[in-house]
Amino acid sequence: MRKRGIVLGLAAAVIIAAAGCGGQERQNTFPAVVMKTEKNADVQETESADNGQELSGEDQNADEAQQPDGTDADTEQQNPSESVVPQRDQSTERSIEQESQSAGSDMQHTSEGRNAGIDSPANKFVRNMKIGWNLGNTLDAHSDQNKANEMGYESDWCGIVTTKEMVDEIKAAGFQTMRVPVSWHNHVLADGSYTISEAWLNRVQEIVDYAIDNDMHVIINIHHDNSTSYMYPSKEYLEQSKAYVAAVWIQVAERFADYDEHLIMEGLNEPRLIGTSDEWWLDLNKQQCVEAVQCINELNQVFVDTVRASGGYNGERYLLVPGYAASLQGATNPYFEMPRDIAGNENKILVEVHAYTPYNFALCAPEESRSTDQWSADDKASTAEIDELMDTLYEKYVRNGTGVVIDEFGARDKNGNTQARIEFAAYYVAAARQRGITCCLWDNNAFAGGGEKFGVFNRQTCSFQYPELVEGMIQACE
């Protein structure tokens, strides 16, 4: 395998199984953007907060994301009806009772004659990934200026160095996948070759091995390297971006060439037009937004071509690619194209989506008027956006044979609303599993302060601060 060779949580899963997947009374269009920020302010005192987080929401957990003018990046949202999200065809709604036995007991969102692709090798692979956890705010930490000791980045945001004991506990809890976000730009030569520091690459490999040795799947990526100096999805910076993406993946793919399919490579994290009014809102009436999507298509292709040419298992391993900002809209808009793969590979490229939804509960800052700390699996208003998200991905990809991984999701702590978060996490995972989708929980080790408290596993104590939340997700996945 390696080289070569909780009562309410459970109740939430039961509720979704009884309710079925289709037939909501309310039609939902998704906001084009759901943002999330990154660093924990209590840990990171000296650096300014990172700009951005997601259209679907992502990882900077503490100081809220700021626009260049210093205002919150998550201010007035545009009308959700403006986003380009396919509406569900009511004539094709499926009942959860129409179950495909061949797809596995957790894959229940099917109907006769419309599910030819759900039993594809790619979808089987994704289902085998089960449930995942993010080592967030760790190897992805970065700054505008290089530290004197580059190894200090690992604990710069999360406050602690990763140990094998931590990963052992993650596996013991039932997680089968670990996502390891990695930022590279503070660890490459500035001569244009983008040569990665040997020490940094060794450390990435060491942490990957903690999980591989536990018989887990591992996702590694290019994370916070989205800038005009490295990777930026615009025509102006496209050639430079291609060079950077190719240079990083040549080195990373060669280092991990002998790792089997337990290692999954994710080309980019939330590629977007950072610093513009379109960073989190993909307005396809604007030429620069259309071009950004087209540039991401090209960058995804460079990633695939580079890895496939790197030898070893890289010719056949599963790869993950995002659309604009890794959002639902980014992966479903008419300009997004899946990369071409080499001959002999069928559906070896998976779709990556990040979705902190419903936004007002999962990600919106508590001090904002639209924020809520309430969520219930019994409430259609709570569950509708999750169901619509999963149905859209199922219709677009899963039933056609393409695997989908939601490799970031979660709900931040708001005033100790633990019970609501337990129900939310169990329902979310159950809804995904019933459509053949695997999810990875975002965890930034943040439990206090005024930032985004997405911490679940307390790395200082090497224990889960919210064990019921984890138990609910694991049960929903079984």
pLDDT of residue 145: 85
Asked if 149 and 133 count as a contact pair (C-beta separation under 8 A), the reply is no
Residues 6+ away with beta carbon under 8 Å from 332: 84, 85, 86, 323, 392, 396
Asked if 281 and 78 count as a contact pair (C-beta separation under 8 A), the reply is: yes
In the prediction, which pLDDT does 282 show? 94
Q: What is the DSSP letter of 58?
A: -
pLDDT at 107 (0 to 100): 63
pLDDT for the residue numbered 305: 98
Of the residues 185, 187, 223, 262, which is catalytic?
223
Joined together, the tokens standing for residue 431 give 């809804």
- Helical axes 418-433 vs 380-396, angle rounded to 10°: 30
Q: Would residue 25 show up in a list of annotated catalytic residues for this protein?
A: no
**In a 10 Å sphere around its CB, with 0-12 CB exposed, 13-18 middle and 19+ buried, how is residue 76 labelled?**
exposed
In DSSP notation, 63-114 reads SPPB-TTSSBSS-SPPPGGGS--PPP-GGG---TTS--GGG-TT-----TTS
Q: Is 291 helix (H, G, I), strand (E, B) or coil?
A: helix
Answer yes or no: 223 catalytic.
Answer: yes
pLDDT of residue 478: 81
Q: What are the pLDDT digits (tens) for 32-70?
A: 434 444 444 343 333 333 333 334 444 433 333 333 233
Query: H-type helices in 434-466, by residue range?
Result: none
213 touches 205 (CB < 8 A): no
Q: Distance (Å, rounded) from C-alpha 405 to C-alpha 411? A: 18
- Give the whole-angstrom CA distance, residue 354 versus residue 35: 10
Phi, psi of 427 (to 5 degrees): -65, -45
Whole-angstrom Cα distance, residue 53 to residue 42? 19
Q: How many Å apart are CA 54 and CA 193, to the nearest integer?
A: 29
| Active-site hit among 352, 388, 408, 471 | 408
First to last CA, the chain: 23
The pLDDT score that the predictor gives to residue 189 is: 96
Dihedral class, residue 349 (left if φ above 0, else alpha if ψ from -120 to 50, else beta): beta
Q: pTM of the predicted model, to two decimals?
A: 0.83
Query: According to the model, what pLDDT value does residue 183 have?
Result: 98
Per-residue pLDDT, 109: 54
Residue 207 CA to its chain's centroid (Å):
19
The one-digit pLDDT tens for each residue of the chain (478 residues) are 444 344 444 444 434 433 333 332 222 233 343 444 444 434 333 333 333 333 444 443 333 333 323 333 333 333 332 333 333 333 333 332 333 333 334 666 554 556 778 999 999 999 999 999 999 999 999 998 889 999 999 999 999 999 999 999 999 999 999 999 999 999 999 999 999 999 999 999 999 999 999 999 999 999 999 999 999 999 999 999 999 999 999 999 999 999 999 999 999 999 999 999 999 999 999 999 999 999 999 999 999 999 999 999 999 999 999 999 999 999 999 999 999 999 999 999 999 999 999 999 999 999 999 999 999 999 999 999 999 999 999 999 999 999 999 999 999 999 999 999 999 999 999 999 999 999 999 999 999 998 999 999 999 999 999 999 999 999 998 8
Residue 261's SS3 state is coil
C-alpha 185: how far from chain center: 20
Alpha helix positions (H), 111-237? 121-128, 153-156, 164-172, 198-212
270 is catalytic: yes
Length of the chain: 478
- Concatenated DSSP letters of 371-409: ------TT-HHHHHHHHHHHHHHHHHTGGGT--EEEEEE
- Catalytic choice (54, 58, 266, 270): 270
